[in-house]
Amino acid sequence: MEANDRLTPEPPAADEAHRKGSSERRCILTGEAAPRAHLIRLALGPDGQVAADWSERLPGRGAWISADRSLFDSVAARGRLRGALARAFKANSFTFPDDLGLRIEVSLRQRLLARLGLEKRAGNLIIGEERVREALRAGKVWLVLHAGDARPDGADRLDGMARAVGESLGVDIAQRRLPIPRDALSAALGRDNAVHAALTDPAAAARVLADIDRWAGFAQPERDTGTETETEFEQTGGATEVAADALERH
């Protein structure tokens, strides 16, 4: 097996990505501090409506919330969301849609699909079981991904190989089953039957993991298969392309 020089404990690129994503903010719903990669920033648009700020750069005060859908719904159901937002924004003249939680969830899905497409165009993402196996043997993989409807035997074999390679090199090669069916993943990547994929750049892997974990934390359990969300996703009229443009700008 040919070890890759980048696959060493705490490589510079991965360490730099970790430092950038590790600055903490305080969740307005729990009062607890957490890394920004685990939180979602809300901001006020020009019309005074609350929306997710994925660039994390919109002007004015922001309100950071944990990527925890059950927590968000619980606070909203008890009528405490407006008060928490008012304290964070130091303002009372704002509105937020009744389906804010759903909008955030759908945006997280769009953001992840757009992210994967960008990483593919940048040459950081490879697709196909055999290509993933070859990259693992060469010690070039940082993250292994599977479509939500991937056959368990194929996914388990790749995951086992990733664990074995990681142990031999003294690193952790993450594995994730995406809450996205192969059809949606294939459409996002412009590739037929995209079932297995891998990230070959540590910073790219960190970016994708952050998006996966935030979506997984905020998606409602019954929507994780992507079947119901797909309808809203298709109704957004090119929102994935908009998300990709936003990611490229930031």
Tell whether the model's pLDDT for residue 226 goes beyond 90: no
Between residues 14 and 171, the one the model is more confident about: 171
pLDDT score recorded for residue 243: 52
The domain 103-249 belongs to what CATH superfamily? Ribosomal protein L30/S12 (3.30.1330.30)
Q: How far apart are alpha carbons 188 and 95 in whole angstroms?
A: 33
pLDDT score recorded for residue 171: 93
**Whole-prediction pTM value?**
0.77
How does pLDDT run across 128-156, given as a tens digit for each residue? 999 999 999 999 999 999 999 999 999 99
How does pLDDT run across 47-66, given as a tens digit for each residue? 999 999 998 999 999 999 99
- The 10 Å Cβ neighbour count of residue 118 is 19
Q: Which fold has domain 23-99?
A: Hypothetical Cytosolic Protein; Chain: A; (3.30.1230)
- Which of the four pLDDT bands, split at 50, 70 and 90, describes residue 77? very high
The percent of residues above 90 in pLDDT, for the chain, comes to: 76
Q: How far apart are alpha carbons 145 and 195 in whole angstroms?
A: 8
Residues 6+ apart with CB under 8 A from 218: 40, 67, 68, 69, 72, 101, 104, 105, 108
pLDDT score recorded for residue 219: 87
Tokens of 90: 């130091």
Question: Do the beta carbons of residue 61 and residue 76 sit within 8 Å?
Answer: no
Between residues 17 and 164, the one the model is more confident about: 164
pLDDT score recorded for residue 179: 85
Compute CA distances 89 → 33, 49, 59, 66, 105, whole Å. 18, 12, 11, 17, 22
The CA R_g of the chain, rounded to the nearest whole Å, is 19
Report domain extents, the chain.
23-99, 103-249
